[in-house]
């Protein structure tokens, strides 16, 4: 890995649905060993941005470079195999699989290499997500907090360089939020860069090194959590628009 | 009493091949959310290929499995890649009609080539039976049941243990989450359609041992496949095995107590009952 090349570098990313431009000319840089918070009022385009980055949605314009390599235009499974994984705002577990099998899916089909057997990696990721004792449960039997941690474990098992985390704290109680944020930190300590979309401000401000604020599809501020919360444009966006208080991002 | 027992045994034996024949339909529905009406085409092709290999080269129907399994896989994957895949985002009824079209084409091509006459395939052991205590058990039925159970077992192991099975089950669970976990969903669809069609064609090979060969073969057994799959629970292998056996026994009992002419009515009645009783969880 060449020093100085960002882990993920996005330039001019744009996506319209009919007349509505959901993501407009967004630039974004995720450095090695960084957690970048991504916040904005409801409907700001954060989830669309994730869908573009992960290859679920085709972009209209822009480039996405992962470790210097252009990945825009790759289908979703290829993007994952190249080392960019994501979790879901509403976890999308494989209900008919067991907890272990779900994580094994990520470990078997994600980025190749690593010299570790898929089952061993799956177990390691389960342990990190504190789900090892539920290893053989049906996914359908898990509660929301466990499903969110399972989604993290599944995504981590694909051996990503960069992980897109979508509202992993939403809907959880404070102690569950704390535990989940702790797991995010552990994943980051393992050498994974993270972009973290979140409405739960304590969680995202506490864990992020930098924060990027998006409103109506554009970037309106980037900086440290402290700078961003004092930025008048950001305050205006949150007060002037919808409240953004932990609801889902449309 | 011995008669009744013979009927029950025979029903169980036929039921296993019913389960084997039907499973492909459930697998394809589970993974692709497509109702594969071309299942009837693959069943019919299976019996015809087997009959022709026997008539032309004297090939035993069990040996012709070596042809029908790979051929079914190839043709199924081809139908998926070339036709079904193009309609992946259209409403379900579109693919249903498309696959119905495939079946009509196959059926009519068979009429064109072989005519409508019933043919049958007779091997040295077709009429053999052996005594098990007081029961007379038909040898081909036992052979077919053993092959069906073996096929079922191999498939269950593949789905449970193998890498490919994990991919199939993940795509059946959530196609988007599967692709975001690195699974090439397009390829998994083709493989699932291939496996489902290989099952149907090889079921045709097995069934050629005791059913007559006609272009309408698929129509008769497509309905029974639906019946088994709906009753057993779409992709639930254990459920499908039980449902297949239940249908086989019910049919043979009906034939024994009433009239053989009523045999094929049983599956209709069971299908209607199953749909009414299970409609809540067929989505």
Q: What would the two tokens of residue B136 be?
A: 């007379």
Distance from CA of A78 to the nearest CA of B (A): 6
Residue A240's pLDDT is: 67
A112-140 confidence digits (pLDDT tens): 988 889 999 999 999 999 999 999 999 98
Does residue A15 register a pLDDT over 90? yes
Which of B182, B187, B239 is most worth mutating to test chain A (most A CB atoms within 10 A of its CB)? B182
Does residue A205 register a pLDDT over 50? yes
Distances (CA, A) of A227 to A212, A234, B39: 11, 10, 63
Chain B segment 149-178 residues within 8 A of A by beta carbon are 163, 166-167, 169-170, 172-174, 176-178
Residue B160's pLDDT is: 85
Cα–Cα nearest to A206, from A225, A187, A221: A225
Q: Domains (ranges, CATH) in chain B?
A: 2-281 (1.10.3470)
Task: Write down the pTM of the prediction.
Answer: 0.87
Size of interface A-B (CB pairs under 8 A): 71
Q: Is B123 on the interface with A (CB under 8 A)?
A: no
Task: Say how far apart CA A104 and CA A100 lie, in whole Å.
Answer: 6
Residue A95's pLDDT is: 82
Q: By CB neighbour count within 10 A (0-12 exposed, 13-18 middle, 19+ buried), where does B281 fall?
A: exposed
Q: How many helices (H) and strands (E) does chain A have?
A: 9, 10
Q: What is the full per-residue pLDDT of chain B (283 aa) written as tens digits?
A: 678 888 899 899 999 999 999 999 999 999 998 999 999 999 999 999 999 999 999 999 999 999 999 999 999 999 999 999 998 888 888 999 999 999 999 999 999 999 888 998 888 888 888 887 788 888 999 999 999 999 999 998 988 888 889 999 999 989 999 999 999 999 999 999 999 999 999 999 999 998 999 999 999 999 999 999 988 887 788 899 999 999 999 999 898 888 888 888 888 888 888 788 766 554 4
Report CA Rg, chain B: 19
Which secondary structure element, helix H or strand E, spans residue B229, and what is its range? helix B217-232
Inter-chain touch B176–A76, beta carbons under 8 Å: yes
Task: Say how far apart CA B122 and CA A107 lie, in whole Å.
Answer: 51
Residue A235's pLDDT is: 86
| Sheet of A162-166, strand order | A84-86, A162-166, A193-197, A35-39, A210-215, A218-223
Name A164's bridge partners: A86, A195
Inter-chain touch A92–B174, beta carbons under 8 Å: yes
Task: Say how far apart CA B49 and CA B56 lie, in whole Å.
Answer: 10
Which chain A residue has its CA at the smallest distance from B165's CA?
Answer: A105
For chain A, what are the domain ranges? 8-93+161-240
Distance from CA of A122 to the nearest CA of B (A): 13
Per-residue burial over B90-109, b if 16 or more Cβ lie within 10 Å, else e, is: eeeeebeebbbebbeebbee
Q: How many helices (H) and strands (E) does chain B have?
A: 11, 2
Which chain B residue has its CA at the smallest distance from A86's CA?
Answer: B180
**Residue B261 contacts residue B78 (beta carbons within 8 Å):** no
A31-75 confidence digits (pLDDT tens): 988 999 999 888 888 989 999 999 999 999 999 999 999 999 899
Which secondary structure element, helix H or strand E, spans residue A24, and what is its range? strand A20-30
Q: Which residues of A touch B182 (CB under 8 A)?
A: 77, 80-81, 106, 109-111, 158
Which chain A residue has its CA at the smallest distance from B181's CA?
Answer: A106
Which chain B residue has its CA at the smallest distance from A108's CA?
Answer: B163
Average pLDDT over residues A141-168: 94
Inter-chain touch A80–B173, beta carbons under 8 Å: no
Inter-chain touch A158–B182, beta carbons under 8 Å: yes
Q: Is B136 on the interface with A (CB under 8 A)?
A: no
3-state DSSP assignment of residue B207: helix
Residue A53's pLDDT is: 94
Q: Which residue has the tokens 């976990």?
A: B181
Name which of A56, A81, A96 is nearest B182 (Cβ-Cβ): A81
Q: Is B65 on the interface with A (CB under 8 A)?
A: no
Task: Say how far apart CA B165 and CA B11 lie, in whole Å.
Answer: 31
Inter-chain touch B174–A77, beta carbons under 8 Å: no
Residue B279's pLDDT is: 62
Distance from CA of A206 to the nearest CA of B (A): 28
Inter-chain touch B169–A81, beta carbons under 8 Å: no
Average pLDDT over residues A142-155: 94
Inter-chain touch B174–A93, beta carbons under 8 Å: yes
Q: Is A106 on the interface with B (CB under 8 A)?
A: yes
CATH of A8-93+161-240, one of 1.10.101.10, 3.40.50.300, 3.40.309.10, 3.40.50.720: 3.40.50.300
Q: Is A182 on the interface with B (CB under 8 A)?
A: no
Inter-chain touch A54–B180, beta carbons under 8 Å: yes
Per-residue pLDDT band at A247 (split at 50, 70, 90): very low
φ, ψ at A208 (rounded to 5°): -85, 145
Q: What would the two tokens of residue B163 be?
A: 């890498």
């Amino acid at each position: 890995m060449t020093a100085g090349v960002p882990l993920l570098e996005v330039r001019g990313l744009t996506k319209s649905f009919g007349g509505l431009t959901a993501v407009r000319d967004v630039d974004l840089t995720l450095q090695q060993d960084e957690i970048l918070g991504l916040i904005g009022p409801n409907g700001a385009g954060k989830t669309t941005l994730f869908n573009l980055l992960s290859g679920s949605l085709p972009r209209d314009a822009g480039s996405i470079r992962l470790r210097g390599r252009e990945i825009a235009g790759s289908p979703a499974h290829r993007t994952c195999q190249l080392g960019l994984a994501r979790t879901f705002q509403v976890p999308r577990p494989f209900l008919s699989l067991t907890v272990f099998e779900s994580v094994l899916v990520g470990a078997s089909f994600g980025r190749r290499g690593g010299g570790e057997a898929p089952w061993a990696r799956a177990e390691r990721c389960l342990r990190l997500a504190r789900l090892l004792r539920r290893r053989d449960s049906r996914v359908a039997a898990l509660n929301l907090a466990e499903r969110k941690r399972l989604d993290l474990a599944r995504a981590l098992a694909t051996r990503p360089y960069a992980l897109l985390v979508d509202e992993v704290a939403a809907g959880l109680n404070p102690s569950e939020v704390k535990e989940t944020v702790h797991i995010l930190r552990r994943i980051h300590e393992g050498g994974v860069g993270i972009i973290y979309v979140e409405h739960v401000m304590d969680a995202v401000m506490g864990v992020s090194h930098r924060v990027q604020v998006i409103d109506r599809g554009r970037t309106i501020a980037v900086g440290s959590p402290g700078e961003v919360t004092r930025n008048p444009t950001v305050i205006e966006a949150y007060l002037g628009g919808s409240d953004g208080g932990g609801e889902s991002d449309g | 009493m011995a008669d009744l027992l013979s009927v029950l045994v025979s029903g169980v034996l036929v039921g296993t091949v019913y389960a084997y024949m039907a499973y492909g339909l459930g697998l394809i529905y589970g993974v692709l959310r497509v109702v594969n009406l071309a299942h009837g085409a693959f069943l019919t092709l299976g019996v015809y290929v087997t009959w022709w290999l026997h008539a032309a080269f004297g090939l035993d129907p069990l040996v012709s499995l070596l042809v029908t399994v790979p051929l079914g896989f190839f043709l199924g994957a081809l139908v998926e890649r070339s036709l079904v895949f193009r309609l992946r985002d259209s409403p379900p009824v579109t693919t249903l009609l498309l696959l119905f079209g495939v079946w009509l084409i196959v059926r009519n091509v068979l009429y064109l080539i072989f005519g409508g006459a019933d043919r049958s395939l007779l091997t040295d052991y077709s009429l053999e039976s052996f005594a098990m205590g007081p029961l007379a058990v038909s040898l081909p039925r036992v052979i077919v049941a053993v092959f069906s159970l073996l096929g079922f077992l191999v498939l269950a192991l593949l789905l449970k243990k193998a890498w490919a099975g994990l991919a199939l089950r993940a795509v059946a669970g959530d196609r988007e989450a599967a692709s975001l976990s690195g699974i090439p969903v397009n390829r998994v669809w083709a493989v699932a359609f291939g496996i489902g069609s290989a099952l149907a064609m090889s079921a045709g090979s097995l069934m050629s041992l005791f059913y007559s060969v006609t272009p309408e073969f698929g129509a008769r057994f497509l309905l029974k496949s639906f019946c088994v799959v709906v009753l057993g629970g779409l992709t639930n292998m254990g459920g499908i095995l039980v449902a297949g056996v239940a249908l086989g026994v019910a049919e043979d009992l009906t034939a024994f107590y009433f009239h053989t002419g009523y045999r094929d009515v049983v599956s209709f009645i069971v299908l209607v009952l199953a749909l009414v009783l299970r409609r809540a969880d067929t989505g």
